[in-house]
A and B are shown apart, each in its own frame.
Chain A
C-alpha cells in the first residue's frame, strides 16, 4: 500500500539484493562448487566477484538508458507493443520458475532439517500463506523485513563463523590449484552467472529507488560484500569438512553443527536453520512480488488484488510439479541455470538498453505510452 510514495533508499536496496543472492546462496552455492572442486572452492568463490561486477555494469548501462523505468516496461517501450509483451512474458515465466525453484530449495531444506514427517505440499501451503500476505502488503513491507532481519542475521552469522574456527584445519586448503584452473573455472560458472546475475533483478524495482542513478555502483558494492560472505562460508566448509563436502546436501549446516562449547552448548545449527528460513522467506517474497507485478504489467491490470492468491497457487504448485526430486533439482541448477539466467537476466536488459541507444526517439515515444499503461507502480 502506498507504493506510489514509497522510495527505497540505497542501503535498503543493498540489504535486499544482498539477501537475494545470499538467501539461497549460502545454502546451495557451496554444493554447486563442490560438484567440481573441493580444495580450491574458495578461489571459485572469489570469481563470483567477476560475475557481480558484470551485473553491476549491466545495471549501470540500463540505468543510463532508462533512469526511471522498470525492466518489463522498458522491454515494451523498446521492442514495441507486439514483440515487447512476448519478451516480457518470457521474463514472467522466468520469474515464476525461479520463485518455484527458491521455494523448492526451502521446502527440501525444511523437510530435511526440521519437518521430516511432513509432506511437501503441506509445507508449501504453510510457507506460501505468509509470503502471499507479505506480497499483498506491498514492496515496502518486504524491504522493511530485510531491514529487520539483517541486524539479527549478520551478527549471528559472524558469531557462528568465529565459533567454527577451533574445528578448522587450514592444511585442507593445500595444495592450491593442484588440479589446475579448469575445475575452479567450472565451479565458478554457476555462482558467477546464475547467482550474481540475480542482482540484475533490481532493475524491475528501479522506479521505486530513491537514487536510481547510483544503482550500478550500489550493485558493485553488494557484489563485493556477497563475495566476502561466500568466501568465508567456502573457507569454513573446506577447512572443516574437506573432501566429505562433496557428499553432503548442505555442507555449511554440517560445519555449523560441529560447533560445541563445553558440554552443554551445541546444536547451534538451529540458529542457522531459523536464519535461512527467514532470509529465503524474504527472497521468495520479493520474487513473488516481482512475478505478480510483472504479470500485472504485461496483462495491463488495474490492481494486484485479483491475482495475488491464484499467482501464489501457481508458484506453489509449480514448486512441487517442476522437479520430481532433488536429483532433477541439482541437474537444473548446475546444467541449465547458467545459460538460462545469462540469456534472461543478462540479455534482456542489454537488449532494451541497446535498442534505446540505437533508436532513442522510439524509446522516448514509448516512454510516454508506457507510463500511461501498465507500470510497476501498484496498488
Chain B
C-alpha cells in the first residue's frame, strides 16, 4: 500500500507541476496533512502497527449499544 500511495503522490506532483496553481498557505497545509494521514494509514496496514485493534472501535463503543438496544426493543 505504501508503494501505491507513493505512486499516487508522484502522479499528484506531476499534475501539480504541469498545472502550476497559485500557492495557498492553508491549502498547502491541508494537502500536506492529508498526505501524512494517508501515508500513516498505509504504513499501519503494511507493518500491522495496530495489531488486532479495531480502528473503528470508538464508533463501536458509541453506536453499537444503541443499535443493539433498538434491536432488542422491536
Q: What residues of chain A have their CB less than 8 Å away from a CB belonging to chain B? A: 97, 121-122, 124-125, 128, 181-182, 185-186, 189, 295, 299-303, 305-307, 309-314, 316-318, 320-324, 328, 332, 335-340, 343
Within the complex, which residue of A122, A186, A295, A336 is in contact with B30, where a contact is CB–CB below 8 Å?
Answer: A295
Closest to B9 in A: A313
Q: What residues of chain B have their CB less than 8 Å away from a CB belonging to chain A? A: 1, 4-5, 7-9, 11-12, 15, 19, 21, 24, 26-28, 30-32, 34-35, 37-38, 41-42, 44-45, 54-56, 59-60, 62-68, 70-71, 74
Within the complex, which residue of A128, A299, A323, A340 is in contact with B26, where a contact is CB–CB below 8 Å?
Answer: A299
| Most chain B beta carbons < 10 A, residue from A128, A310, A323 | A310
Closest to B34 in A: A310
Contact B64 A336 (CB under 8 A): yes
**Interface secondary structure of B, over-half rule:** helix
**Interface secondary structure of A, over-half rule:** helix
- In the complex, what residues of A have CB within 8 A of residue B70's CB? 189, 338-339
- In the complex, what residues of B have CB within 8 A of residue A186's CB? 71, 74
- In the complex, what residues of A have CB within 8 A of residue B41's CB? 314, 317-318, 320-321
- In the complex, what residues of B have CB within 8 A of residue A311's CB? 34
Closest to B19 in A: A305
Within the complex, which residue of B12, B34, B63, B74 is in contact with A343, where a contact is CB–CB below 8 Å?
Answer: B63
User: Once the chains are docked, how many angstroms separate the CA of A241 from the CA of B56?
Assistant: 33
User: Once the chains are docked, how many angstroms separate the CA of A320 from the CA of B30?
Assistant: 22
